[in-house]
Amino acid sequence: MRFRASRGSGPASPWRAGCVAAAPELDAPPHLLFPVRARRVGRVDRNGSIETAGGHIASRLGRRSVVLIGLMGAGKSTVGRRLAQRLDVPFQDTDTEIEAVSRMTIPELFAAYGEDEFRALERRIVARLAAEGPQVLATGGGAFMSEETRSVLATRAVTVWLNADLDTLMERVMRRNNRPLLKTGDPRETMRRLMETRYPVYGLADITVHSRQVKRETVAEEIVEALDRHLDPVSVAVSA
Feature table: binding site? 73-78, 95, 119, 141, 179, 198
Nearest Cα to 101, choosing from 206, 44, 15, 93?
A: 93
To which H or E segment does residue 200 belong? helix 187-202
Q: Could you tell me which residues are annotated as the binding site for substrate? A: 95, 119, 141, 198
Nearest Cα to 153, choosing from 115, 122, 197, 180?
A: 122
Neighbouring-strand partners of residue 160: 68, 207
**Is the dihedral angle over the CA atoms 108, 115, 113, 120 positive or is it negative?**
positive
Q: Could you tell me which residues are annotated as the binding site for Mg(2+)? A: 77
Alpha-carbon gap, residue 75 to 91, rounded angstroms: 14
Q: Could you tell me which residues are annotated as the binding site for ATP? A: 73-78, 179
Quickly count: other Cβ atoms within 10 Å of residue 107's Cβ.
13
User: Counting beta carbons within 10 angstroms of the beta carbon of residue 4, is it exposed (0 to 12), middle (13 to 18) or buried (19 or more)?
Assistant: exposed
**Is the dihedral angle over the CA atoms 59, 60, 63, 66 positive or is it negative?**
negative
